[in-house]
Amino acid sequence: MSDFQIIDRQDFSDTTFLLEVCHPAMARAARPGQFVIALVDEHGERIPLTIADFDRDKGTITLVVQAVGKTTRQMQQTCQTGSALYGLVGPMGAPSHVADVGKVVCVGGGLGVAPVFPQARAFKENGAYVIGVVGFRSKDLIFWEDKFRSCCDELIICTDDGSAGIKGLVTDGLKSAIEHHEDVDEVVAIGPPVMMKACAETTRPHGIRTMVSLNPIMVDGTGMCGGCRVRVGGEMKFACVDGPDFDGHTVDFDDLMNRLRRFTEDERAAMERWNENCKRLEQAGQTTGTV
Amino acid sequence: MPVRAAEERVDDFKEVACGFSLEDALHECARCLECPNPACVAGCPVGIDIPGFIVKMEEKDYRGAYDILSDSNLLPAICGRVCPQENQCEGVCPVGETLEPVAIGRLERWLGDEAIKNNWNTLPHIEPVRHKVGVVGSGPAGLACAADLAKAGCDVTIYEALHKPGGVLRYGIPEFRLPNDVVDAEIANITRLGVTIECNTLVGRLFTIEQMRDEMGFDAVFIGTGAGAPNFMNIPGETLNGVLSANEMLTRCNLMMAGKFPDFDTPMHMGRQVAVIGAGNTAMDAMRVALRIGAEKVHCVYRRTEAESPARLEELHHAQEEGIEFHWLTAPVEILDDGAGNVRAMRCLRMELGEPDDSGRRRPVPIEGSEFEFETDMVVYAIGTKANPILGQTSKLGLNKWGYIDANETLATSIAGVYAGGDIVTGAATVILAMGAGRRAARSIKTYLGIRDSEAKYRSEQVGCAGTLFGIDLGERNFSPIRLAG
Ligand SMILES: Cc1cc2nc3c(=O)[nH]c(=O)nc-3n(C[C@H](O)[C@H](O)[C@H](O)COP(=O)(O)OP(=O)(O)OC[C@H]3O[C@@H](n4cnc5c(N)ncnc54)[C@H](O)[C@@H]3O)c2cc1C
Ligand SMILES: Cc1cc2nc3c(=O)[nH]c(=O)nc-3n(C[C@H](O)[C@H](O)[C@H](O)COP(=O)(O)OP(=O)(O)OC[C@H]3O[C@@H](n4cnc5c(N)ncnc54)[C@H](O)[C@@H]3O)c2cc1C
Ligand code: SF4
Ligand code: SF4
Ligand code: FES
């Protein structure tokens, strides 16, 4: 298991892309809510990515990545069909609880759209009534609409500019879902911390159980470093073993957001260096005629 | 043993202790009394025939000495560097009653290094026995267990969660004490025996212990997953930026090479005034790493005194030489915010020693009204570790009340055919105790599987004799595989 072949890649926008990676054992083991840690090359950083889909017959898992910094941009350039990842470990984290829920709203925004899909599908398979709420900036950035439609009884698409679905944030979609259905048992919200916090605040007055998937900075993902610790209900939890799913009404999101800024300076430096290297390579490529 | 000067070494990750020259080594051998009933062998958790290899060295048969050494320990260059010898083999050597004890660890390191340099490896004759054994975790316990089982002919696969093998040897102990090249070279001794190491495999999540036994065809399983989960103190301010565990810092630096950022992608932003809480080996390593990657000043904050510090003596001295400031009898009670979510200072209490506690050490008690602010912008916790919960949560393994795996004196767990040893059974201990446990479990697994030659010594002169293997008549060997009970 030293070679993790990428067998498909799709680009959803100039920052978001999908990688389908061959790993039969992981495809068999993966459950909704779990994630992997990937390494692009030997000098790389270990970065966590949610398992956005898995195909047990094909023996593959699917990752949907948003290019936000050095590593994810490097992946955007180098992870092409036919290439391989240097490291891939998982599934990690505790699987989500999807049983015994009658009606559920699955909310995905930003890099949370893909990760919420396996949960929506699992709820559906467990017989729940599933309402999907997914947010995009505009119509041409929408992806996986068909996949969501196949497992959602209702799908609310929200766009920032109103070019598709309702104009507004996913919280608007969530509000509308709660207004139309008084009997929602559970809300699952995945996306940037601000979004998850807003969703938790939206449901708090209604007393609807709201699960969020936290994304703190991780290193090993096995419970060994404590870098991923988050404050939940006044207690310290390690997101990689106790989570990543937690009850959104008890999560200290401000603490999480502060901790996500731990390495801002270094991340910026790495990004600049990467951009410079890319530029240099491009120039060199132009003069020699190769890229 | 020569060491590099403190001023020179604090800027790099090259080894601090330089090792013996041949002359030093021979001089040291001559000091050994070659006791007929050697205390040192009993003091070594893996029972190395210490006078045996010393005699060979004096005969200038270094290769032969290495063969004796590697009979009991395939990681001599590692153990020679990191064993707390003063509490083990050297601690009981009678020469130490009047003079310095024989420097067994350094001799071991010398032989281990010679073996790496000259590419010595004595492969025993291995007769396959059709048994498949799975090992979880590639730390010293797992490696030692795998080696013994491979020598007994089992088909052994080690599963490791991280992307590189070695456990604490890789991610915990820094390169200036244990270079990665040495770890690589000695792990290669183990793969050369036919052991397969599968990294990137988190057992419990990718498959369970029960699946290994019931679906994947393993006749026995050994668990050596260590006690990796770091403790925190549960005081206010613990999630501020600038507070982290020693494990995180060491992993970023040793496994992910953060010291070479941005050539390597993983950052390790270093504070200027770094306070490390704790005074064990892990604390010493964290402090010395902090110094090497850019901290201006590093402080050790410990609630007991130097006498109670659990660190290896040599490491404590090296840390002192390198200019680390020690604050004994000091305990933090709160970490203070700079207003922007970062550490500004710690609030600490002064302590004094009271009555002895259960561990026999005098219990530190706070001095009333002694609170003071300790200026620091980075707080590193090195106050011990606990059991990782993943295997406990995903299998039916019996655990004790602290979450460690319950194992009896043969290291058998509550699941038939599943054995465990090392830190995951005892709590954080030492490399060589973990190796000793791995070897003990290997012995139990051989008995469980019905493999006869469990105590055989692997001497080159015994290999290849017709009809017998390791002195045992081949016809006499009992190969009947045991069927595993539910
Ligand atoms: C459980 C979990 C699941 C995730 N799933 C996805 C996913 O499906 N798709 C996706 O695009 N992203 C996902 N992320 C976020 C992803 O890991 C980060 O975007 C990525 O690590 C950024 O690395 P970078 O070098 O490109 O950017 P950097 O410039 O290093 O960082 C950009 C931002 O990402 C965060 N980040 C940096 N390093 C890490 C790290 N090691 N672990 C976590 N966050 C980090 C920081 O807050 C930083 O502000 C997930 C994170 C977690 C914890
Ligand atoms: C910083 C530091 C310095 C130390 N210095 C010394 C020293 O100088 N001398 C000394 O004698 N001792 C020292 N020790 C203690 C010593 O390293 C440990 O006692 C020893 O490594 C324990 O060995 P082990 O095999 O039980 O576990 P570990 O070395 O912890 O190895 C366990 C391995 O199992 C893997 N693993 C865990 N869970 C899973 C899973 N579910 N699936 C797959 N793999 C898994 C881990 O990733 C790890 O690689 C030190 C410890 C630390 C932390
Ligand atoms: S392995 Fe450790 S305890 Fe055993 S002889 Fe070597 S240094 Fe001493
Ligand atoms: S106890 Fe000391 S003197 Fe005796 S054999 Fe061992 S090393 Fe030599
Ligand atoms: S990522 Fe290291 S403990 Fe969770």
pLDDT at A224: 92
How does DSSP classify residue B271?
Answer: P
Residue in this structure with the two tokens 């810092």, named with its chain if needed = B249
pLDDT score of B1 more than 70: no
Contact B416, B396 (CB under 8 A): no
Tens digit of pLDDT for each residue in B292-317? 888 888 999 999 888 888 887 888 88
pLDDT score of B124 more than 80: no
One-letter amino acid for residue A112 of the chain: G
Tens digit of pLDDT for each residue in B135-183? 999 999 999 999 999 988 899 999 999 999 999 999 999 988 899 899 9
pLDDT score of B442 more than 90: yes
Indicate the range of B13-17, B150-154, B271-275 predicted with least confidence. Answer: B13-17
pLDDT score of A34 more than 80: yes
Distance between CA B284 and CA B427 in Å, rounded? 19
Terminal-to-terminal C-alpha distance of chain B: 55
pLDDT at B9: 80
- Find the mean pLDDT for residues B427-455: 85
Most confident range (mean pLDDT) of A96-105, B110-119, B215-224, B464-473 is B215-224
Query: Measured between beta carbons, which residues in chain B are less than 8 angstroms from residue A2?
Result: 199-200
pLDDT at B467: 52
What confidence category does residue A290 fall into, taking pLDDT thresholds of 50, 70 and 90? Answer: very low
Q: Pick the residue with more confidence: B386 or B128? A: B386
- Find the mean pLDDT for residues A145-158: 89
Cis peptide before A91 (omega within 30 of 0): yes
Give the ranges where B104-233 is alpha helix by DSSP (H).
104-118, 140-151, 168-171, 180-192, 209-214
pLDDT score of B67 more than 60: yes
pLDDT at B158: 96
pLDDT at B397: 85
In this structure, the strands spanning A166-167 and A154-159 are parallel
- What SS3 state is found at A89? strand
Half-sphere exposure of B398 (CA within 13 A, CB side): 11
Nearest residue to A128 (alpha-carbon basis) of A151, A112, A149: A151
- Find the mean pLDDT for residues A48-70: 91
What confidence category does residue B453 fall into, taking pLDDT thresholds of 50, 70 and 90? Answer: low
Which residue, among A2, A219, A236, would best test binding to B if mutated, counting the most B CBs under 10 Å from its CB?
Answer: A219
pLDDT at A179: 86
pLDDT at B470: 56
Alpha-carbon distances of B458 from B3, B74, B453, B462, rounded to whole Å? 35, 12, 10, 7
Distance of CA A176 to the CA centre of its chain: 24
What confidence category does residue A241 fall into, taking pLDDT thresholds of 50, 70 and 90? Answer: very high
pLDDT score of B43 more than 50: yes
pLDDT score of B118 more than 90: no
| Cβ neighbours around B275 below 10 Å, total | 30
pLDDT at A94: 92
Query: CB of B293 within 8 Å of any CB in chain A?
Result: no
What confidence category does residue A25 fall into, taking pLDDT thresholds of 50, 70 and 90? Answer: very high
pLDDT score of A126 more than 60: yes
Distance between CA A36 and CA A54 in Å, rounded? 12
Q: Pick the residue with more confidence: B263 or B425? A: B425
In this structure, the strands spanning A60-66 and A16-22 are antiparallel
Minimum-distance ligand 1 atom for the alpha carbon of A46: 41
Strands (E), chain A: 4-11, 16-22, 35-39, 47-50, 53-55, 60-66, 84-85, 87-92, 103-109, 129-136, 154-159, 166-167, 186-190, 209-213, 229-232, 235-238, 245-247
The protein residue with its alpha carbon nearest to ligand 3, atom 7, reads B105
Q: What is the 3-state secondary structure (H, E, C) of B373-438?
A: EEECCEEEECCCEECCCHHHHHCCCCECCCCCECCCCCCECCCCCEEECCHHHHCCCCHHHHHHHH
Q: What's the B390 CA to ligand 5 centre distance in angstroms?
A: 12
Terminal-to-terminal C-alpha distance of chain A: 31
**Both structure tokens of A139:** 């119509």
Distance between CA B475 and CA B481 in Å, rounded? 16
Query: CB of B236 within 8 Å of any CB in chain A?
Result: no
Q: Do A224 and B341 touch (CB under 8 A)?
A: no
Tens digit of pLDDT for each residue in A100-115? 778 899 999 888 888 9
How does DSSP classify residue B339?
Answer: S
The protein residue with its alpha carbon nearest to ligand 2, atom 13, reads B430
pLDDT score of A215 more than 50: yes
What confidence category does residue A199 fall into, taking pLDDT thresholds of 50, 70 and 90? Answer: very high
**Both structure tokens of A116:** 């919420």
The protein residue with its alpha carbon nearest to ligand 2, atom 35, reads B137
C-alpha triplet A98, A104, A108: angle, nearest 5°: 90
In sequence order, which residues have a C-beta less than 8 Å from that of residue B164 and are 6 or more positions away?
B170, B199, B255
Percent of chain B with pLDDT over 90: 31
Residue B273: its H or E element: strand B273-277
Contact A12, A136 (CB under 8 A): no
Contact A65, A19 (CB under 8 A): yes
pLDDT at B473: 47
Distance between CA B24 and CA A248 in Å, rounded? 64
B392 → chain A, closest CA residue? A241
The backbone region for A268, taken as left when phi is positive above 0, alpha when psi lies in -120 to 50, beta otherwise, is alpha
Q: What is the largest CA-CA distance in chain B?
A: 79
Q: Do B202 and A46 touch (CB under 8 A)?
A: no
Residue A239: its H or E element: helix A239-242
**Both structure tokens of B14:** 């090259």
Contact A40, B260 (CB under 8 A): no
Query: Structural domains in chain A?
Result: 4-92 (2.40.30.10), 95-212 (3.40.50.80), 214-263 (2.10.240)
Distance between CA A109 and CA A222 in Å, rounded? 27
Contact A129, A103 (CB under 8 A): yes
Determine the length of chain B: 486
C-alpha triplet A104, A110, A112: angle, nearest 5°: 45
Indicate the range of A141-150, B261-270, B279-288 predicted with least confidence. Answer: B261-270
**Both structure tokens of B290:** 């902090």
The protein residue with its alpha carbon nearest to ligand 3, atom 2, reads B83
One-letter amino acid for residue A135 of the chain: G
One-letter amino acid for residue A78 of the chain: T
Q: Do B239 and A262 touch (CB under 8 A)?
A: no
pLDDT score of B457 more than 60: no
Q: Do B248 and A219 touch (CB under 8 A)?
A: yes
Query: Measured between beta carbons, which residues in chain A are less than 8 angstroms from residue B228?
Result: 222-224
pLDDT at B128: 81
pLDDT at B464: 46
- Find the mean pLDDT for residues A195-202: 92
Residue in this structure with the two tokens 């925190």, named with its chain if needed = B232
Q: Do A220 and B161 touch (CB under 8 A)?
A: yes
Tens digit of pLDDT for each residue in A163-189? 888 888 888 888 888 888 888 889 999
Give the closest-approach CA distance of B387 to chain A in angstroms.
9
Mutate to test the pocket of ligand 4, among B102, B106, B108 (most ligand atoms within 8 A of CB): B102
Distance between CA A19 and CA A82 in Å, rounded? 11
Among all bound ligands, the one having the nearest atom to the CA of B228 is: 2
Tell me what the pLDDT averaged over chain B comes to: 85
Distance between CA B443 and CA B40 in Å, rounded? 22
Nearest residue to B249 (alpha-carbon basis) of B224, B274, B227, B226: B274
pLDDT at B479: 38
Give yes or no for residue A281 CB within 6 A of ligand 1: no
- Asked casually if ipTM beats, i.e. exceeds, 0.85, the reply is yes
Cis peptide before B262 (omega within 30 of 0): yes
pLDDT score of A289 more than 70: no
pLDDT at A138: 86
What confidence category does residue A1 fall into, taking pLDDT thresholds of 50, 70 and 90? Answer: very low
